Amino acid sequence: MRRPECSTANGAYAIERALTLAVALFVALTRSTSAEAEERTLERKFVERDEDADGWAFEELRLFFGVFVQDGHGYQSQAEPMIDGKGSEEAWIIEPLQSVRFRSSSKLDHTIVLPVDIVSAASPDATDLTSTASRVNQSFALDVITTYKTPILDLTFHWGPHFEEPYRSFYAGPGFRFHLFEDNTIIDLNGTIVADAFDPIQPNGKDTGQEARITLTGNATWSQVLSPTTVMDLSFSATTQSGTLQTTFNSILAHDVDAIGFDDARRLADIFPDNRFRGAAVARVSQHVPATHTTVKASYRYYHDENDVTAHTTDLELSQYIVPWLYLRALGRLHIQTPISFWVPVLPEIPATDRPRTADSDLGRFVAREAGLHLVLVRDRAPKSFRGPDTFDIGYLRYQRSDELHVDFASLSYARTFE
């Protein structure tokens, strides 16, 4: 059997990491980054509620284009070049996203997001493992949010499919948003069920047939206006999973590699427990400084997994207006994580029992740092000669981990509103 030319981790890990970065940036672009903008949005909501704007209307178009480049080495990878038993995690992803928002009545609106990934180093199937690994893969998803609005309660239904070789997924769930005390207090409650189906391939090329997993997630968020320029957010989430939880194309080195060498060592598949529970809590404070047209957002996230993974994450975001229609947004993030209880880089011998095991670099001990910068042009605040209903954003983000993995992510975004 031929060793795959590209790491299986290159594709799926890179897709997940790129999609996480892209969606986080994309969601950030949909929100105002100053109290002034938030006040204008709030005023517009009240006007829309008072108007008799029944019937269909196209409201917003967003286009996003990102390029994700990853490099590093991990024990779970078989790709060349190998360094001390670690395979290459090199990958790049081109990621266009499109979002449209429209209403079908004065109380019912819809948002549709279409992300597409074009990936180097694909997740392999049986043909790849016995001949040549796929060098390019495509990932497609559909994300739909439908919201029914009332003065006090918004009802939301969120659903969508995801297609990627060799992976299929569908998710859906309801959401409830309560507007209290003239929107000074907002409470969000939502839940999601995710059904995944995939064709797992063992490191030796054996196809074990279709497998599946189910994920249930619940989230609660409380947003409170503390002053005309200060907002506090608290959120809690809990997730439970069952089924095949391991990344089925990962592998782990086994046997006495010091005696026989890395090239001759056997590779075994990851094994996870059949169930997994994890939870997270986030606190965020947003402060606007009118005198300098500056907005600062600081947050802390605590994460714990029943398999002993604990993580602490701090985020800092600073938005500074240069002129009323142009501002800079700087992002910083620090993430510290402990390893999962059954993480091991190399098995010293062939195990006699199928105990949980993984060499996944994303589940090991590491410290991650992230820094980014965005330049945002808001044309509806520009001088009359240049004014328009458009917003442009160009950004760059650098992600670096202590286990030597690093990512560069560049993005370009365009948004247009329709009155």
pLDDT digits (tens, 9 = 90+) for 61-112: 999 999 999 999 888 887 777 787 788 888 888 999 999 999 998 899 999 9
Q: What is the pLDDT of residue 39?
A: 52
CATH at residue 370: 2.40.160
The answer to whether residue 1 is domain-embedded is no
What is the arithmetic mean of pLDDT over 289-309?
A: 96
**Residue 191 carries which side chain, given as an amino acid letter?**
G
In whole numbers, what is the pLDDT of the chain averaged over residues? 83
**DSSP 8-state symbol, 380:** G
365 vs 7, more confident = 365
The closest alpha carbon to 169, from 192, 145, 189, 191, belongs to 192
Q: What is the pLDDT of residue 2?
A: 36
369, two tokens: 């740092």
Q: Residue 29 — left, alpha, or beta (φ > 0 → left; ψ -120 to 50 → alpha)?
A: alpha
Confidence of residue 232 (pLDDT cuts 50, 70, 90): very high
113, two tokens: 């997001």
Report the number of distinct structural domains present in the chain.
1
Q: Considering only 93-102, 119-128, 211-220, 326-335, which range has the smallest mean pLDDT?
A: 119-128
pLDDT digits (tens, 9 = 90+) for 351-373: 777 889 999 999 999 999 999 99
Confidence of residue 265 (pLDDT cuts 50, 70, 90): low
The answer to whether residue 3 is domain-embedded is no
Residue 74 near residue 40 (C-beta atoms within 8 A): no
Q: Percent of the chain beyond pLDDT 90? A: 58
Confidence of residue 26 (pLDDT cuts 50, 70, 90): low
The answer to whether residue 107 is domain-embedded is yes
**Residue 221 carries which side chain, given as an amino acid letter?**
T
Range of the domain at 227: 8-417
250 to 19, 253, 312, 358: CA distances (angstroms): 20, 10, 26, 8
135, two tokens: 């060098």
96 to 68, 170, 270: CA distances (angstroms): 11, 21, 32
Q: Considering only 98-107, 132-141, 305-314, which range has the smallest mean pLDDT?
A: 132-141
Q: Considering only 30-44, 155-169, 225-239, 347-361, which range has the smallest mean pLDDT?
A: 30-44
**Residue 42 carries which side chain, given as an amino acid letter?**
L
The answer to whether residue 405 is domain-embedded is yes
Question: What is the per-residue burial (b if ≥16 Cβ within 10 Å, else e) of 302-338?
Answer: ebebebebebebebebebbbeeebebebebebebebb
